[in-house]
Amino acid sequence: MDILYLNSKDIDQLNITNDEILEAVEESLRAQGTGQAMVEPRVHIHPNPEYNGHFNVLRGYIEPEHVAGVKVVGDYVYNYKKDLPSEMSLLSLYDPENGAPYAIMDATAITSIRTGALTAVGAKYLAKKSNRVLGHLGCRGTAFWNVVLLDHLYDFEEIRINSRRRESMEAFAQALEARLHKKIVIAKDSEECLKGADIMIEATRLIEPAPLLKTEWVKPGDFVVPYGTICANEITLTDVMDKIVVDDWGQCKEGGKLGSLSPHVRAGKLTEKTLYAELSEIVAGKKTGRENDDQRILFWHRGLSINDIALGRLYYKKAVANNIGTKLFYR
C-alpha cells in the first residue's frame, strides 16, 4: 500500500484555477449544509509561551467526496524573523470506508487558499453584487488569497491594505500587483484602509486585543469579515449588524482567547439567538443570504477542516491524473 506525498513544489505545479478553488470550497459547504459532512471541533495545542505560537488540529469528513482528513497547522507570529511562513501545515487524507491513508501533502498553500476561498464564497452570498473598494487589514499568509479571490469576483476599482510592518505591506502589495495587474494602495493606518470600503477584511495577527476596526466606519451595505487571531474590533461591532453569519457555530461559541469575536461571545453579544446562520445553511438554500443593498452583514470564520479536505482532494486527483508527486511505501 502506497501513500502519495505532495510537497510544496508539487502543489505549485498543479496550477489549480480560481474557479476550481471556489467550486471545491462551495461544494464542501453545501455538503455541510445538507448534513453530508462532519466538522469536528478544532483542537489547540499551546507549547512554551515563549515561542509565541500554537498548533491547530482540524478533522473532518465529506461524504460526497468519499474522503476524511486531518490537518495540523502551526501558527507562529514571529516566524518572519526566521524567514519562515507564519503558518505551516500538513494535510493527510483517508479512505473513510476502511481508514486507509492515501495522501500526505504540504498544506501551507492550501491553508491560505481555502481561507481566501471561504471569504470569497461568503462574499458571493452575503456581499452586494457590486463592490468598488476593498479594505484589507493584515498581511498574514492567508491575506493574499483573500484579495485574489475577492478581486476575481468583483474586479475592484481600489484595493487598500495595511499592516504593522512596512516591509510586509510592501511585499504584499508587490505580490498582489504582479498577480492582479492593478495598483494596490498602502494605507497609512487602519482607518485609511477600512473607512469607506464596501468590503472590510480584518486578518491581523495581534498579540493582545486592539480596536483597529471601528464600529462607526461600518456603513449600510457593507460586508465585514473579521477573522484575526486576536480581537481587533470594538465590542459594539455586532450591535450594528443586520445579519451575523459564521462558518461553524460549534467552533465559534468557544469564547476562548483566540478568535476575532470571542470577546463578543463571552459578553453574550453573539449567541445562538443573535446568530443568523452558518454559511453552509445559506449555500444549501436553507436560509437567505443578503436580501438588499442596505444590510450590514458580518461573516466570522474560524476555518473549516472540510474546506482543507476538499481542496486536498482536488489537488490529489489532479496529481494522480498528471503523475505528479512521490509514492511512499506504507505497509
The number of folded domains in the chain is: 2
Mind listing the pLDDT tens digit for each residue in 48-58?
999 989 999 99
CA 243, CA 295: separation in Å to the nearest integer? 8
Confidence of residue 257 (pLDDT cuts 50, 70, 90): confident
Can you tell me the mean pLDDT for 171-180?
Answer: 97
For the cut 90, the answer to whether the pLDDT of residue 256 exceeds it is no
pLDDT category, 330, cuts 50, 70, 90?
very high
Residue 247 banded pLDDT, cuts 50, 70, 90: very high
pLDDT classification of 255: cutoffs 50, 70, 90: low
In a domain, 289, yes or no: yes
Lowest mean pLDDT among 69-83, 179-193, 313-327: 69-83
**Does a structural domain hold residue 213?**
yes
* Mean pLDDT estimate for the chain: 95
**The pLDDT of residue 159 is above 70:** yes
Do residues 86 and 141 both lie within one domain?
no
Same domain, 143 and 189: yes
Task: Write out the chain in H/E/C secondary structure.
Answer: CEEEEECHHHHHHCCCCHHHHHHHHHHHHHHHHCCCEEEEEEEEECCCHHHCEEEEEEEEEECCCCEEEEEEEEEECCHHHHCCCCEEEEEEEECCCCCCEEEEEECHHHHHHHHHHHHHHHHHHHCCCCCCEEEEECCCCCHHHHHHHHHHHHCCCEEEEECCCHHHHHHHHHHHHHHHCCCEEECCCHHHHHCCCCEEEECCCCCCCCCCECHHHCCCCCEEEECCCCCCECCCHHHHCCEEEECCHHHHCCCCCCCCCHHHHHCCCCCCCCCCEEHHHHHCCCCCCCCCCCCCEEEECCCCHHHHHHHHHHHHHHHHHCCCCEEEECC
Confidence band for 229, pLDDT divided at 50, 70 and 90:
confident
Q: What is the CATH number of the domain that holds 58?
A: 3.30.1780.10
Same domain assignment for residues 136 and 266 = yes
Q: Are residue 93 and residue 153 in the same domain, yes or no?
A: no
pLDDT tens per residue, range 31-71: 999 999 999 988 889 999 999 899 999 999 999 999 999 99
Give domain status of residue 115, yes or no.
Answer: no
Q: State the residue range of the domain holding 220.
A: 125-303
User: Scanning the structure block, which residue is given the C-alpha cell 458571493?
Assistant: 124
72 phi, psi to nearest 5 deg: -115, 125
Same structural domain for residues 103 and 171? no
**CATH code, domain with 264:** 3.40.50.720
278 and 175 fall within a common domain: yes
Question: Could you read off the pLDDT of 285-312 as tens digits, one per residue?
Answer: 999 999 999 999 999 998 899 999 999 9
| Residue 126 · residue 245 · CB < 8 Å | yes
User: In this structure, are 314 and 217 located in the same domain?
Assistant: no
Asked which of 72-86, 88-102, 163-177, 260-274 is least confident by mean pLDDT, the reply is 72-86
Is the residue at 90 inside a domain?
A: yes
d(CA 159, CA 139): 13
pLDDT bracket for residue 315 (50, 70, 90) = very high
Exposure of 246 in the CB half-sphere (CA atoms within 13 A): 21
The reply to whether 120 falls in a domain is: no
Q: What is the pLDDT, as a whole number, of residue 254? A: 79
Kindly indicate the confidence band of residue 85, based on its pLDDT and cuts at 50, 70 and 90.
Answer: confident
pLDDT digits (tens, 9 = 90+) for 105-145: 999 999 999 999 999 999 999 999 999 999 999 997 789 99
Q: Do both 270 and 294 map to the same domain?
A: yes
**Residue 322 counted as domain residue:** yes
228 and 314 fall within a common domain: no
Residue 313 domain-assigned?
yes
Q: Is the domain of 27 the same as that of 131?
A: no
Within a domain: residue 119?
no
252 and 324 part of one domain: no
Shared domain for 296 and 315, answered yes or no, is no
**Is the pTM of the predicted complex or chain greater than 0.75?**
yes
